[in-house]
Amino acid sequence: MRRFSIAVACIAALVLAGFAGAILSGHLKSGSTTTTTTSHVSLSTTTSTVVHSSVKVLVANGTQEANAAGHFTQQLQQQGWSLSSPVNATATASSTAVYYAPGQQAAAALVASELGVPASAVQPLSATVPVPTTTGLDVVVVIGPDLAGQGFRPRPSRPDRAISGRSARLRPPAR
């Protein structure tokens, strides 16, 4: 009887091992199959450097805001652009627009960016641009109320003299 018990135990162990192996082998197969896909995308970018001083820019005031064109002309001059004297636009602008001559789209986009004007405002130069003349210009900025309405203040001509009077004395807060 002892032999019979050992034989039954061995058969039961084999059946159990076979059953467990079948279950685990299906699980292990699905978990161990790994597919790796590698793709390589090559991006080609063209970077052009715009030399600010080589681009002739005109700023026109298309608003009723006094000195708007002068303010933004000065701002662009400080950034190294070559500027014509500011003018008043021949018509009122509903929003700021930046126009470019052929081959000057990158320069116009950079001017727009530096002024905080959206890229959608950059357009090709045409005969309908509201300025007296576009001859010899690469970029024309027509200031609209969106840009002029930002509440700019004229910069002092001598920053070292902008603050006058005695220096204020700070007092500790009252207790």
- Residue 107 in this model has a pLDDT that exceeds 50: yes
Which domains does the chain show, CATH number per domain? Answer: 52-151 (3.30.70.2390)
For the chain, the average pLDDT equals 77
Supply the pLDDT for residue 7: 62
| pTM for the structure as a whole | 0.61
Residue type, 157: S
- CA 71 – CA 148 distance, rounded (Å): 9
CA atoms within 13 A on the CB side of 129: 30
Query: Looking at per-residue confidence, does 4 or 77 come out higher?
Result: 77
- Residue 32 in this model has a pLDDT that exceeds 80: no
Supply the pLDDT for residue 51: 92
- CA 155 – CA 160 distance, rounded (Å): 12
Neighbours of 3 (CB within 10 A): 7
- Give residue-wise pLDDT tens across range 122-172: 999 999 999 999 999 999 999 999 998 775 554 443 333 333 333 334 444
Supply the pLDDT for residue 84: 96
